[in-house]
Amino acid sequence: MTYASRTNHLEPEGAYQVLARANQLEAAGQEIIHLEIGQPDYSTFENVAQAGIDAIRAGHTRYTPPVGMPSLREAIAEDSGRRRGIRIAADEVVVSPGGKPNLFFPTLALVEAGDEVIYPDPGFPTYEAMIGVAGGRPMAVPLLEENNFSFDLEAFDRLISERTKLIILNSPGNPTGGVIPRTDLEHIARQAQKFNAWVMSDEIYARLVYEDAEFNSIASVPGMQERTIIVDSFSKTYSMTGWRLGYGIMPRELAAKVDLLLTHSVGSTAHFTQFAGLEAITGPQDQVKVMVADYQNRRDVIVDGLNAIPGFLCQKPQGAFYAFPNIKGTGMKSGELADLILEKAGVALLPGSSFGRHGEGYLRLSYANSIENIRKGLERIKSVLKGSGR
Ligand code: PLP
């Protein structure tokens, strides 16, 4: 059999692979602490789940327009615009089953074979996957630990050119928890304008920012909204990963192209899921605040605990729910160390190398888990490393 070459570069997401191995160990009787998957441990908020159930009972189980129900698009335009200090029209909003299709389809609509696409490394693996499927050339910009994992702007300046079609940003970032400061966004914006490049700003962790940092969208830099695709999702903010609901905000001509791609691929997002989403953004927001405060406590516990492990050095992440310790002091490769910790300590986490070349020398731990489990996991890691003579 031969297969089309556009899938040759695709690889599984590290998180699913580690989860599969962790499940095997669990099935064999080992107790595993799960710090590998980027998924809130909270249930979907009660009012939101109820709105979904009510929608099913009311018969909202039909196709909707591929780009989403008008009422949801209007609510998203208002909510997202207000939070970012910009004006968004409902026809610039494209609803999708999770945020991922709004990463993939605008990329397919914009990138021609051979076009260069700049993206963060370490970064969310879907970026490299979708650039490759579109036939683009992936151009990785390192994220610097000493710069709170914001872009290495000098490397960025060296990479950007007339050949750059698209620049992908992710702030707060997966896997580092880094937040790109406004001054860096302004620099990137100036370059995007100079070289006439589009920007895709993955802002799915925008609401998960801690008190010592501030979220800014590059779309709020003057002149940028017309060349920016904002990608956001209900998955993390409202603990709705399995409902599959996300959206993109983009100029309406591009939205019309993405509408066609959705029409001929997924058709539409689940009808009742969209009603749940409507309740999520128009209903009370206090549960989001409680969740963010909780994550911040967990972050402080995990960062202190990681810094107490010999050979580990962990920055305080400013957003999302990932810690990204530098483990170069252990003398081990990140894949080797992640395997050792899973097999011997029963703690599932990810090697930084599954997020790109520049992730080598780091681990990613998701702290979307209870403080009790986080403490237990840290203790186990510490004792395994002592036992291994490191
Ligand atoms: N973007 C980033 C940076 C992510 O970490 C994730 C999920 O982990 C997504 C996008 C996709 O989220 P979803 O498709 O569940 O909305």
Whole-prediction pTM value? Answer: 0.96
CA 107 to chain centre: 16
Which residues fall within 8 angstroms of residue 357, CB to CB, at 6 or more apart? 121, 140
Confidence at residue 1, expressed as pLDDT on a 0 to 100 scale:
86
| Number of CB atoms found within 10 A of residue 169's CB | 26
Any ligand 1 atom below 6 A from CB of 99: yes
| Domains with residue ranges and CATH for the chain | 5-44+286-387 (3.90.1150.10), 46-282 (3.40.640.10)
Confidence at residue 389, expressed as pLDDT on a 0 to 100 scale:
53
Tell me the CA–centroid distance for residue 331 and ligand 1, in Å: 31
Tell me the CA–centroid distance for residue 14 and ligand 1, in Å: 14
Q: pLDDT band at residue 10, thresholds of 50, 70 and 90?
A: very high
Tell me the CA–centroid distance for residue 62 and ligand 1, in Å: 26
Q: Is residue 387 pLDDT above 80, yes or no? A: no
Q: Is residue 388 pLDDT above 70, yes or no? A: no
What does the pLDDT look like over 20-45, one tens digit per residue? 999 999 999 999 999 998 899 999 99
Q: pLDDT band at residue 56, thresholds of 50, 70 and 90?
A: very high
Confidence at residue 201, expressed as pLDDT on a 0 to 100 scale:
98
Tell me the CA–centroid distance for residue 366 and ligand 1, in Å: 14
Sort 58 into a burial class: Cβ within 10 Å, 0-12 / 13-18 / 19+.
exposed
> Which ligand 1 atom sits closest to the C-alpha of 241?
15
| Number of CB atoms found within 10 A of residue 110's CB | 21
Any ligand 1 atom below 6 A from CB of 174: yes
Q: Is residue 301 pLDDT above 80, yes or no? A: yes
Q: Is residue 390 pLDDT above 80, yes or no? A: no
Confidence at residue 386, expressed as pLDDT on a 0 to 100 scale:
82
DSSP 29-52: T---EE-SS---SSPPPHHHHHHH
What does the pLDDT look like over 262-275, one tens digit per residue? 999 999 999 999 99
What does the pLDDT look like over 162-219, one tens digit per residue? 999 999 999 999 999 999 999 999 999 999 999 999 999 999 999 999 987 999 999 9
Confidence at residue 60, expressed as pLDDT on a 0 to 100 scale:
98
Mean pLDDT of 241-251: 98
Rounded to 5 degrees, what angle do the CA atoms 214, 219, 223 make? 130
Using a CB cutoff of 8 Å and minimum separation of 24, what contacts does 325-331 make?
325/362, 325/363, 325/365, 326/145, 326/361, 326/362, 327/361, 327/362, 327/363, 328/361, 330/385, 330/390, 331/390
DSSP code of residue 224: -
Cβ atoms of 101 and 246 closer than 8 Å: yes
Confidence at residue 51, expressed as pLDDT on a 0 to 100 scale:
98
The partner residues of 286 in beta bridges, in order of sequence, read none
Confidence at residue 212, expressed as pLDDT on a 0 to 100 scale:
79
Any ligand 1 atom below 6 A from CB of 232: no
Q: Is residue 17 pLDDT above 90, yes or no? A: no
Any ligand 1 atom below 6 A from CB of 13: no
Q: Is 151 helix (H, G, I), strand (E, B) or coil?
A: strand
